[in-house]
């Protein structure tokens, strides 16, 4: 963006602020006054028509001191960092916007950030927690201040930003609004948990929305939660009337999105740390994880050692035993060509053939393999 354009945008924003502050405004668009503070509990002014609040919440799952080496297998976006993040490097991020299309007319009016509260006790429980910071935009003229606060929160440190569908939506909205306001978009490493969630649960769930994952996989209770799809209508209603109870409910929904996002990350971390032991708890697709694990270890030998390779082989065996034809085929190939154990290769081939729903092409491939292995096994026996 050129210097002249930045200057024009800055003058335009300043003019909007001055005009808004010197004009009698409809109810709901005014800056907060002493009389209005009671209607915004726990919120403080953070800029022109921008509010801020901070909440410390308890986490049911403990936060580890360090993440396992296999975490990038389950969350491949972490590979781009070139190193494992620490718990203090993570920044959970979610936006509520005036639309779901992400077009030029869509703006963000609510942002939430979550950081693990290292060593912080919540309400005297002694449990670890998550510290959530929110920014709320009260009207259009305050957008530049709102965006500056959001960008400033991301730029506090060079974190790994964690979102759910954020690559396609939140980050694009933020970038567009930065450019529209003459603000440099933040640069950061980004891990979108939608993609690993789809790999692990798409065949078991009706959809992979964050709410579905939270309820069906994590067992979180979102009963009574204001649906996020109502956020645009509720914000526009607030601009017209100034009534904020429903808007505060959307703010609470936004908080739950962050705690759910952190809980999902910790679940993925548990799967990366102990995949076999985590299966009963999280009911993920063992075949999908086994294939993902095998491919990641083969493609990134510098990242992973013998322990990750051993776990990958165990995952393949487990998946084969649970009816995965692809896992059984991989094990059959390994037994035939690397181990030269033709009897074991036959066992895995028969296991693959016994699987339900395999394609005709795969069945023909397995039948040819079985015929060849029988000849080899007979020749060398």
CATH at residue 347: 1.25.40.10
pLDDT band at 3 (very low <50, low <70, confident <90, very high): very low
Q: How far apart are CA 278 and CA 270, in angstroms?
A: 7
Where does a domain end: 245, 275, 305? 275
Last residue of a domain, one of 241, 275, 309: 275
pLDDT in tens, 353-368: 998 888 999 999 999 9
User: 80 and 190: one domain?
Assistant: yes
From the list 263, 243, 254, the residue with the least C-alpha distance to 193 is 263
Range of the domain at 9: 3-275
Rounded CA-CA distance 350/345 in Å is: 9
Same domain, 216 and 321: no
Same domain assignment for residues 376 and 350: yes
* Model pLDDT, residue 5: 46
> Token pair of 224, please?
């009574």
Same domain, yes or no: 156 and 289:
no
pTM to 2 decimals? 0.87
Taking the C-alpha atoms of residue 63 and residue 266, their distance in angstroms, rounded to an integer, is: 7
As for how many domains the chain has, the answer is 2
Instruction: Give per-residue pLDDT as tens, 191-234.
Output: 999 999 999 999 999 999 999 999 999 999 888 889 889 999 99
Residues 324 and 271 reside in one and the same domain? no
Report pLDDT digits (tens) over 269-286: 999 999 999 999 999 999
Residues 206 and 337 in one domain: no
Give dist(CA 247, CA 244) in Å, integer. 5
| Integer Cα distance of 362 and 126 in angstroms | 55
- The mean pLDDT of the chain is 88
Any domain includes 280: no
Q: Above 50 in pLDDT, residue 29?
A: no
Q: Please tell me whether residues 300 and 271 are part of one structural domain.
A: no
- Same domain (yes/no): 178, 318: no
Q: What is the pLDDT of residues 247-265, one digit of tens each?
A: 999 999 999 999 999 999 9
Mark whether 305 and 171 lie in a shared domain: no
Q: Which of 254, 275, 296 corresponds to the end of one domain?
A: 275
Q: Does 221 share its domain with 304?
A: no
pLDDT for 142 equals 97
The CATH number assigned to the domain holding 98 equals 3.30.420.10
User: 70 and 125 share a domain?
Assistant: yes
Q: Which is more confident, 28 or 328?
A: 328
Q: Is 312 inside any structural domain? A: yes
Judge whether residue 88 has pLDDT over 70.
Answer: yes
User: pLDDT tens for residues 126-177?
Assistant: 567 899 999 999 999 999 999 999 999 999 977 899 999 999 999 999 999 9
Give the three-class secondary structure for 56: strand
Distance CA(188)–CA(250), nearest Å, equals 27
Q: Are residues 202 and 245 in the same domain?
A: yes
């Amino acid at each position: 963006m050129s210097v002249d354009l930045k200057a024009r945008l800055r003058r335009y924003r300043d003019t909007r602020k001055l005009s808004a502050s010197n004009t009698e405004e409809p109810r709901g668009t005014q800056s907060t006054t002493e009389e209005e503070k009671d209607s915004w509990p726990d919120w403080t002014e953070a800029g022109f028509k921008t509010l801020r609040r901070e909440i410390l919440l308890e986490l049911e799952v403990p936060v580890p001191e360090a993440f396992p080496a296999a975490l990038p297998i389950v969350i491949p976006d972490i590979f781009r960092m070139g190193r494992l993040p620490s718990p203090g490097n993570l920044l959970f991020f979610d936006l509520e916007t005036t639309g779901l299309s992400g077009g030029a007319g869509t703006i963000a009016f609510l942002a939430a950030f979550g950081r693990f509260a290292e060593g912080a006790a919540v309400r005297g429980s002694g449990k670890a927690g998550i510290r959530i910071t929110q920014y709320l935009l009260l009207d259009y003229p305050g957008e530049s201040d709102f965006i500056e606060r959001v960008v400033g929160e991301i730029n506090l440190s060079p974190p790994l930003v964690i979102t759910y569908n954020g690559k396609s939506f939140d980050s694009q909205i933020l970038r567009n609004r930065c450019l529209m306001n003459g603000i440099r978009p933040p640069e950061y490493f980004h891990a979108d948990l939608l993609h690993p969630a789809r790999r692990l649960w798409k065949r078991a769930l009706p959809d992979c929305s964050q709410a579905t994952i939270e309820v069906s996989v994590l067992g979180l209770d979102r009963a009574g939660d204001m649906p996020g799809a109502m956020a645009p209508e509720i914000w526009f209603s607030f601009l017209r009337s100034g009534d904020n109870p429903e808007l505060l409910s959307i703010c609470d929904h936004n908080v739950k999105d962050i705690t759910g996002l952190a809980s999902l990350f910790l679940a993925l971390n548990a799967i990366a740390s102990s995949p076999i032991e985590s299966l009963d708890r999280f009911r993920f697709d063992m075949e999908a994880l086994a294939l993902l694990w095998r491919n990641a270890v083969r493609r990134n030998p510098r990242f992973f050692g013998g322990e990750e390779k051993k776990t990958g082989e165990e995952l393949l065996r487990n998946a084969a035993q649970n009816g995965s034809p692809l896992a059984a085929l991989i094990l059959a190939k390994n037994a035939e060509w690397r181990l030269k154990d033709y009897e074991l290769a036959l066992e895995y081939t028969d296991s693959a053939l016994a699987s339900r729903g395999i394609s005709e092409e795969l069945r023909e491939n397995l039948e040819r393999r079985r015929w060849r292995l029988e000849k080899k096994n007979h020749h060398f026996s």
